[in-house]
A and B are shown apart, each in its own frame.
Chain A
């Protein structure tokens, strides 16, 4: 399913509870949407860099199973943007459901 434009919000949501690395973020989004939101993983990193440039996430190096990885964690501004995005999405979703429900 095409979910262009919502990937940054989904990434912020995936990082809301704990920091994570790119592969796990991709898997988390796919699993939580039960495979409906399937995206090409090469596009995940540009989105992560954009969020980092905007100060919504920050990255650091960590080690997992003896392998060095780049981890990402959500910042305070990232939490603020996520809350705002969630509210906007609920509003939009309610409006679309109302219209489609009428058909």
Chain B
């Protein structure tokens, strides 16, 4: 393994396959140019190799910087499989219609319970609204970054409100259920990072939501 191979291996650690290929190509090009320049200045082949790799600097530092601007393997996987739930649902039409009918049924039941004065009307209304918003997302005209931002703010406000509305005064007792928000929050955090790294023109539909 050459010194350049070792440098590249360290610099591309945890990067996605595409990012790794991109880094390899650009660094290889740079290395060839640096090597040629050193040879023209009178360096031997070995010296030129050594100088070209030395000028690239610390591979670990470069890796940290690359991971901030290029997709990592985890992020690429999330981008590929990020909407697997939606794809799984959409591939079964009966499941799609059943899930879309759920929030409508919940809202209808909430309205009925509201008129009968039942205390379960509000939790049911909150649940129906929250689920409705999540299921309706793919059908909404959200295809610009600003609309996506507005949708995400509304989504989180609604989700947190649903929690408050569903449990009312007992919210404090059921606060431990808030841990269930950790997973969607982590997904949201990763998506923020992906949005920063990808040009808007390359965003798949689910990255807007």
Contact residues of A with B, CB < 8 Å? 21-23, 26-27, 39-43, 45-47, 49-50, 52-53, 55, 67, 69-70
Q: In the bound complex, do residue B66 and residue A46 qualify as a contact, i.e. CB atoms below 8 Å apart?
A: yes
Q: Determine the distance from Cα of A5 to Cα of B198 in the docked complex, in whole angstroms.
A: 22
Cβ of B87 within 8 Å of any chain A Cβ, yes or no, is no
A27 proximity list for chain B (CB < 8 A): 37
Q: Contacts A21-B29, A23-B34; is A43 near B57 (CB within 8 Å)?
A: yes
| Nearest CB on B from A86, distance (A) | 24
Q: In the bound complex, do residue A41 and residue B57 qualify as a contact, i.e. CB atoms below 8 Å apart?
A: yes
| Nearest CB on A from B198, distance (A) | 8
Sorted from nearest, which 8 A-B pairs have the closest CB atoms? A40-B57, A46-B65, A42-B62, A23-B33, A42-B56, A49-B69, A42-B57, A50-B69
Cβ of B159 within 8 Å of any chain A Cβ, yes or no, is no
Q: In the bound complex, do residue B61 and residue A42 qualify as a contact, i.e. CB atoms below 8 Å apart?
A: yes
A50 proximity list for chain B (CB < 8 A): 68-69
Q: In the bound complex, do residue B29 and residue A22 qualify as a contact, i.e. CB atoms below 8 Å apart?
A: yes
Cβ of B58 within 8 Å of any chain A Cβ, yes or no, is yes
Contact residues of B with A, CB < 8 Å? 7, 11, 23, 25-27, 29-30, 32-34, 37, 55-59, 61-62, 65-66, 68-70, 196-199
Q: Determine the distance from Cα of A22 to Cα of B66 in the docked complex, in whole angstroms.
A: 15
Q: In the bound complex, do residue A23 and residue B30 qualify as a contact, i.e. CB atoms below 8 Å apart?
A: yes
Q: In the bound complex, do residue A69 and residue B61 qualify as a contact, i.e. CB atoms below 8 Å apart?
A: no
Q: Determine the distance from Cα of A38 to Cα of B32 in the docked complex, in whole angstroms.
A: 20
Question: Which of B32, B65, B197 counts the most chain A CB atoms within 10 A?
Answer: B65
| Nearest CB on B from A37, distance (A) | 14
B198 proximity list for chain A (CB < 8 A): 53
Question: Of the candidates B25, B32, B34, B197, which one forms a contact with A41 in the assembled complex, judged by CB atoms under 8 Å apart?
Answer: B34
Q: Contacts A43-B62, A70-B29; is A53 near B56 (CB within 8 Å)?
A: no
Q: In the bound complex, do residue B55 and residue A40 qualify as a contact, i.e. CB atoms below 8 Å apart?
A: yes
Q: Determine the distance from Cα of A70 to Cα of B104 in the docked complex, in whole angstroms.
A: 53
